[in-house]
Amino acid sequence: MAKNPEAFQTVFDTYFPVGIIGEGGAGRVFHVRNSSGSDLALKCLHPDLATTEKRKRFKNEIDFCAKNQHQNLIRVLDWGIVEWDGKITPFYVMPRYAGTLRGQLEKKIPSANVLGVFGQILDGVEAAHLLGVTHRDLKPENILHDPEKNLFVVADLGIAHFEEEILATLVKTKKGEKLLNIGYSAPEQRTKGASVDKRADIYALGQMLNEMFTGSIPQGAGHATIAQAAPEFSNLDALVEKMRQQNPAARFQSVAELKKELIGRKNEFIALQQLDSKKKEVVRATEPGIIEPVEIVDANWDLGRLTLVLNRSPSQDWVQYFWNPRGSSSWRSGLAPNTYNFRGNTVSISADERDAQIAIDQFRRWSPLATATEQAELVRVAQENERAERTRLKQQIAAAEAKARVNSTLKF
């Protein structure tokens, strides 16, 4: 292989290779140090393997990961091109992690800690799915680990499938193209011409969950089970079997569905997530999106009537909170909060020449209070709904288990 570049330069920084972290099918990952001395990781396509197809996939990976804000998905910090062995090839820079899930498996993860680790991996994979990305190459080597924060991060989206609306470039998977690691690949990934979707990632997650408990990847019948390795978690064997069904339709159809099963089995640390459609970010179900402030963008006073134009139309709840401001009990006589009349993105109030500016100042004082109250109420409702959902899921699982237990003892 060609001699490694002596430096990688972008518009913003220069990165100097310190060592090699790993090697992939088309890329090499370097340990680099930037001009300010910070240690980072840098992934670069091999110059001899940087085909048009691989460049397109690499570009899609950069485009997606540069926008990502989820803590359990890898982030791209910088990117550029470099001359390597006389050829121009792309690279990107990301945070450097001390290890991988593979390293943790080799050390043996205590059974009591497995589901905590698995929950983080589920969060990362689910975030990718909600944002329109199927990984297609999930394996322990692609789960990075920060031991200081005990953080697990899903990485290496080089062969991921990106839905059309987020594609940076159009990539078509050729029939027969190998895009998998055989130990964790779903049956449909090994079948020529078969459709591969998010359920292939569910299969790989099942393989890894079993391996995290037993130390071995399940293959066929008679494989090592969780019940054998950790009897207190024996009820997870049924989940693993459902996750790795040969027919994708027989598996869990989404990470959310799998999470609900785990929550129903009293795993409190498993988090429900949702897509904030406005910000295009995945957040916890108990963390609704941030409400946009209501602000004045224009004002006009005309013969005793002040009209304010707002940056957006506030909700009816917001208006109610404005009319009853918390933490503010004083106002100019005749300019009480409930005398402000809202209509769409405008608000009007009767005010003489002397009171026009006072009415504006009062609005500016009460508006943030109304926004904060509405935000707090959204969080309260979200938390209440999640608690109710967790209770419902537990009751549902308990009822199903009771039914199965009683029916198994019936004699007829």
Write down the pLDDT at residue 176.
40
* Residue after which a domain boundary falls, among 25, 60, 95: 95
pLDDT of residue 159: 66
Q: Are 259 and 209 in contact (CB under 8 A)?
A: no
pLDDT confidence bin for 2, thresholds 50/70/90: low
Instruction: Reduce the DSSP state of residue 165 to 3 states and report it.
Output: helix
Burial degree of 403 (CB within 10 A; 0-12, 13-18, 19+) = exposed
Specify whether 85 is located in the same domain as 130. Answer: no
Which CATH number does the domain housing residue 37 bear?
Answer: 3.30.200.20
pTM, to two decimals = 0.78
The confidence score (pLDDT) of residue 165 equals 46
Q: How confident is the model at residue 282 (pLDDT cuts 50, 70, 90)?
A: confident
Task: Look at residue 388 and tell me if it is in a domain.
Answer: yes
- Does residue 3 fall inside a structural domain? no
- Where is the domain boundary, 60, 79, 95? 95
pLDDT digits (tens, 9 = 90+) for 240-271: 999 999 999 999 999 999 999 999 988 877 88
Same domain flag for 303 and 261? no
Q: Are residues 277 and 326 in the same domain?
A: no
Domain that holds residue 15: 8-95
Long-range contacts of 159-165 (CB under 8 A, 24+ apart): 159/57, 160/57, 160/60, 160/61, 160/64, 160/128, 160/133, 160/134, 160/135, 160/136, 161/133, 161/134, 161/136, 161/196, 161/197, 162/60, 162/64, 162/132, 162/133, 163/132, 163/133, 165/132
Arithmetic mean of pLDDT over the chain: 89
* Same-domain check for residues 274 and 259: yes
Mean of the pLDDT values across residues 91-113? 95
pLDDT at 192: 80
* Digit-coded pLDDT (tens) for 199-242: 999 999 999 999 999 999 988 778 899 999 999 999 999 999 99
Select from 66, 95, 124 the last residue of a domain.
95
pLDDT for the residue numbered 289: 74
Are 90 and 118 members of one domain? no
Quick check: 236 and 111 in contact, CB under 8 A? no
Using CA atoms, how far apart are residues 198 and 255, in angstroms rounded to an integer? Answer: 9
Same domain, 280 and 293: no
How many domains does the chain fold into? 3
Q: Are residues 351 and 241 in the same domain?
A: no
Give CA–CA dist 352/333, Å, rounded: 12
CA of residue 257 relative to chain centroid, distance? 16
Residues 150 and 241 in one domain: yes
Which tokens hold the place of 85?
A: 């062995």
Identify whether residues 226 and 132 lie together within a single domain.
yes
Over residues 166-183, the pLDDT tens digits come to 444 444 444 444 444 678
Instruction: Say whether 64 sits in a helix, a strand or coil.
Output: helix
